[in-house]
Amino acid sequence: MSSQNLPTGGASRRRRIAGERKGTRPPLESGAVPGEAPEGSAGEPSTPTTQAAPAEGVTTPEAGPRREARAVSTLVLSALAVAAVLLVAFAASGFFVDGVGVAAWRQVDEESQVETAERAAPAAAERAAAAILSYSHESLEADRDNAARFMTDSYRQEYLDTFGLVLDNAPEVKAVVEAEVKASGVVHADPGRANVLLFVNQTTTSTANEGEPQIALNRVMLTMQLHDGTWLVDDITSY
């Protein structure tokens, strides 16, 4: 058996297989652990592996869902903004779905007008009653004209016709009538219209009762009508 000469001082050199290129990394030696540095390279720093950033224009797996989520969020915000603008426009124009909003708005407006009538009409009725139910034989025409200021056009003419009787009789008996409103209250009110009941004491002095004051306790209903922001008397009923 012929012996082969082996190189000394190291492991035996492997022969190249036919077609194998030089420089190909030899297989791990027996007993080596993958990933560990070969014996004799201890202490040499290892080069960290850096993950390459994706090239421009290349979509990573995470980028697609995030971009879609942002797009959906933008669409939702845009829809909400448009809806808010439409609601404001509809509210300003008084239009609501099925007319429900319009009916509610009208009801609130009507209730507000009724509250205004209940609050303002009695005070106006008291001022008017004090002027209309008072007069003196010495100033009949002035008293008539003053009272007419508190009346609507339609009722003013009716009052002037009635006051003609006072013009005919008051001077003869030298009548003086003073009206004092003791209390008032709203019997019924609608937007722009109210019936006000007043308790009025009328004190009359004339030659017919020898100058002795005569007090009459009267109940008077004044129908008040709102005209150009002013409450005017549209009718008078005595009880």
H-helix or E-strand spanning residue 234: strand 230-238
Q: What are phi and psi of 138, to 5 degrees?
A: -85, -15
Torsional class of 142: left (φ above 0), alpha (ψ -120 to 50), beta (otherwise): alpha
- Distances from the Cα of 52 to the Cα of 49, 55, 56, 61, 164, angstroms: 9, 9, 12, 15, 112
Does the pTM of the predicted model rise above 0.85? no
- Report d(CA 207, CA 215) in Å as an integer: 15
What digits encode the pLDDT tens for the residues 57-94? 555 555 566 666 666 566 666 666 666 665 555 555 55
Question: Which DSSP symbol is given to 229?
Answer: T
Q: Give 22's contacts (C-beta < 8 A, 6+ positions apart).
A: 16
Per-domain residue ranges of the chain = 121-238
| Whole-number pLDDT of residue 110 | 82
CATH superfamily of 121-238: VirB8 protein (3.10.450.230)
pLDDT exceeds cutoff 80 at 177: yes
Between 74 and 140, the more confident residue is 140
